[in-house]
Amino acid sequence: MRNIFNYIDRPSPVHRLTGATKFICLLLWSFAAMSTYDTRLLVLLTVLSFVLFYISKIRLRDVSFLLSFMAVFMILNNILIFLFSPQHGVTLYGTCHELFSLGGRYVVTKEQLFYHLNLVLKYFATIPIVLLFVCTTNPSEFAASLNRVGVRYTIAYSVALALRYIPDIQKSYHEISQAQQARGIEMSKKQNLVKRLKSASTILIPLILSSMDRIDVISNAMELRGFGKGKKRTWYMARPFKAADIAAMAVCALLLGASITLNVINGGRFWNPFV
């Protein structure tokens, strides 16, 4: 099962970019979206991300489960922020335009709503890009990409190993958990927390200790085939950069540049329409 990360193999311009390009773009893009609260740029990023999503031929139903999960997360986070800090927008923007009151300190202001709008835009500007990365990057290319962006190959390879052994470990977990449940181990809500954690440990201990044994076997197998001998290594799945890769990285770099420039022009991370 290589599909824990939902890789969907379809021919599209986004798929054709190398993994390294997509990884760099993901980083540039998410930092651009993270650093700014300038609504104009966030709208631009959102529109662009939707366009890219369309080009990549990923269909909504491919990712509907993940999207609904993120939607719940986003709504909860917004509600939490409002509950904890209903006047956060007022503090950030320095003005106060009251709209209506929900009682007590919960007075809804234009500033607060505008802040929430920006938060939601940030989600819309990044989620499609992360999904895109996940759905169009072959996991096999991932380690090679990390190495290419300057991560030491040994560490990049530990990421590859994690991806390789996740399905195996997931399967063992499932089998161990079934066998232990037959012996009466329960993790249901009926028990108190401490008991539940102890029950969980009777499944985790065999899982983790047997994984520790594997570490030795795997590292022997790797050394027997020459892993770790040189300062460098090549990658079977690596592909050379093409013009489209350079262009994609340039565009993303520009977006990050724009984000930083706007922060300087706005004198902070917030674009303030209230003054």
Partner 1 sequence: MNEPIVEFKNFGFQYNAQAEPTLYDINLKIHKGEKVLIAGPSGCGKSTLAHCINGLIPFSFRGESTGTVTIMGRETKDLSLFEISKTVGTVLQDSDSQFIGLTVAEDIAFALENDCVGEPEMHDRVQKAAQIVNIESHLLHAPSELSGGQKQRVSLAGVMVDDVDVLLFDEPLANLDPATGKSAIELIDEIHKETGAAVIIIEHRLEDVLHRDVDRIVLMKQGRIISDTSPDVLLSSDLLLENGIREPLYLTAIKYAGVKVTEEMLPHSIRSLKLSDDDRGSVVSWFRSTPPRVREENRPYLLRAKNITFSYSSGHRALTDVSVDVRKGELIAIVGTNGAGKSTFSKVVCGFEHEQEGEIEFTGCDWKNMSLKERADHVGYVMQNPNQMLSKPMIYDEVALGLRTRGLSEDEIRPRVEKTLKTCGLWPFRNWPVSALSFGQKKRVTIASILVLEPEMIILDEPTAGQDYRHYTEIMEFLRDLNSEGVTVVMITHDMHLMLEYAERSVVFTDGAVIADDTSAGILTDPDIIKRANLKETSLYDLAVMCGIEEPREFVQRFIDYEREVFRS
Partner 2 sequence: MKRSPVRTIVAIGIGAALFFVLGRFVAIPSPVPNTNICLQYGLLGFMAVLFGPIAGLLIGLIGHFLIDLSWGGGIWWSWVIASGIFGLLMGCISRKIALADGVFGKKGIATFNITQIIAHLICWVGVAPALDIAMYAEPANKVFVQGLVGGIANIITTAIVGTLLCLAYAAAKPKKGSLKEEN
Judged by CB under 8 A, the chain residues 27 through 86 that form the site for partner 2 are: 30, 34, 37, 63, 66-67, 69-70, 73, 76, 80-81, 83-85
Q: Which of residues 146-185 bind partner 2 (CB under 8 A)?
A: 154-155, 157-166, 168-170, 173
SS3 state of residue 98: strand
Which stretch in 39-47, 207-215, 233-241, 252-260 sits in contact with partner 2 by CB under 8 A? 207-215
Separation CA 120–CA 114 (nearest Å): 10
Which DSSP state fits 137?
S
236-240, long-range: CB within 8 Å, 24+ apart, which pairs?
A: 237/19, 237/138, 237/140, 237/141, 237/144, 238/18, 238/20, 238/141, 238/144, 238/148, 239/18, 239/19, 239/141, 240/18
Separation CA 226–CA 228 (nearest Å): 6
Q: Which of residues 97-136 bind partner 2 (CB under 8 A)?
A: 122-123, 126-127, 130-131, 133-135
Give yes or no for residue 4 binding partner 2 (CB under 8 A): yes
Give yes or no for residue 23 binding partner 1 (CB under 8 A): no
268: left (phi over 0), alpha (psi -120 to 50) or beta: left
196 binds, among partner 1, partner 2, none (CB under 5 to 8 A by kind): partner 2
State the number of CA atoms in the 13 A half-sphere of 127 facing the CB: 17
Give yes or no for residue 194 binding partner 1 (CB under 8 A): no
State the number of CA atoms in the 13 A half-sphere of 105 facing the CB: 8
Give yes or no for residue 187 binding partner 2 (CB under 8 A): yes
Separation CA 269–CA 271 (nearest Å): 7
Q: Which of residues 232-271 bind partner 2 (CB under 8 A)?
A: 269-270
80 binds, among partner 2, partner 1, none (CB under 5 to 8 A by kind): partner 2
Give yes or no for residue 234 binding partner 1 (CB under 8 A): yes
**Closer to partner 1 by Cβ: residue 88 or 214:** 214
Where do contacts with partner 1 occur on this chain (CB under 8 A)? 1-2, 139-140, 160-161, 163-164, 167-168, 171-172, 175-176, 178-186, 201-203, 205-207, 209-210, 213-214, 217-218, 220-230, 232-238
